[in-house]
Amino acid sequence: MLNFTELLEILRFVGSKNKQKRFRENETFHNVYQPTREELVDAIYKLKGKWKTEVFKNDNPLVLELGCGKGEYTVGLAQRYPDRNFIGIDIKGARFWRGAKTAIEEDIPNAAFIRTQIELIDHIFAENEVDEIWITFPDPQIKYQRTKHRMTNLHFLERYKKVLKPDGLMHLKTDSEFMHGYTLGLLHGAGHEVLYANHNVYKLEGSPEEVTEIQTFYENQYLEKDKAITYIRFKIN
């Protein structure tokens, strides 16, 4: 019989093989883009300013999901709004492999994925190229020394502003009361426009349908534990 350590080693080996398989499969997907850091930083990226015309072949609004994980929200939004283009962004390609594969299998042409770091967003998209940005269930980075990694800190908001249209919308959906409160306080303090805020979208009236009708795997786990899901819609002035 295997001991605990041997079992862990087997699971790590299997997990590693699955990741490698997904990485290889991502390279064959027409809806996955994996630019190198050098391609983004050392030159003007070939698709910057051209995502609508070169990738989606239309002039529909462009919506991003940052830190998209498995891509469930990107795919869900794309299915719900076929007249908009959606791009999920995450550094972990083995995760969004699921969303990319689903989009291909179910013929969802308005969903795509980019494997890159969020802080490079203004190297990927041109000024005023993006209509909306969703941030769904980000790591709240609660420790003070991790503040610079919070996806709604002032540094990140300035990067988002560079690519958003002047009237572009931001959405934050999270299970973290800390992240919700931190972001609201920061937005009010910086003079940004909070359009809507809800600290428990499934129990308080008025929640937008796209917030409550699209649920990720982890969100369902939070709901089973009766954990409040929060939401903020805002503009960066």
Give 122-181 pLDDT, tens digit per residue. Answer: 999 999 999 999 999 999 998 988 889 999 999 999 999 999 999 999 999 999 999 999
134 and 120 in contact (C-beta within 8 Å)? no
Give 184-229 pLDDT, tens digit per residue. Answer: 999 999 999 999 999 999 999 889 999 999 998 889 888 898 899 9
Residue 20 has pLDDT above 90, yes or no: no
pLDDT > 70: what percent of the chain? Answer: 93
Catalytic residues: 139
73 and 95 in contact (C-beta within 8 Å)? no
SS3 content of the chain, % helix, strand, coil (to 5): 45, 20, 35
CATH homologous superfamily of 4-235: Vaccinia Virus protein VP39 (3.40.50.150)
Token output for 23: 């990485």
Token output for 50: 């051209």
List, in sequence order, every beta strand (DSSP E) within 52-209: 62-66, 85-90, 111-115, 130-136, 164-174, 193-198
pLDDT band per the 50, 70, 90 thresholds, residue 6: very low
**pLDDT attached to residue 19:** 80
Mean pLDDT for the stretch of residues 63-83: 96
Task: Enumerate residues 6+ apart whose C-beta is below 8 A from 49.
Answer: 125, 126, 129
- For the chain, what are the domain ranges? 4-235
Residue 2 has pLDDT above 60, yes or no: no
**pLDDT attached to residue 41:** 93
Residue 70 has pLDDT above 80, yes or no: yes
Residue 5 has pLDDT above 70, yes or no: no
- Short-list 96, 51, 94, 48, CA closest to 69: 96
Mean pLDDT for the stretch of residues 109-126: 97
**pLDDT attached to residue 199:** 95
How far apart (Å, rounded) are the C-alpha atoms in residues 84 and 169? Answer: 14
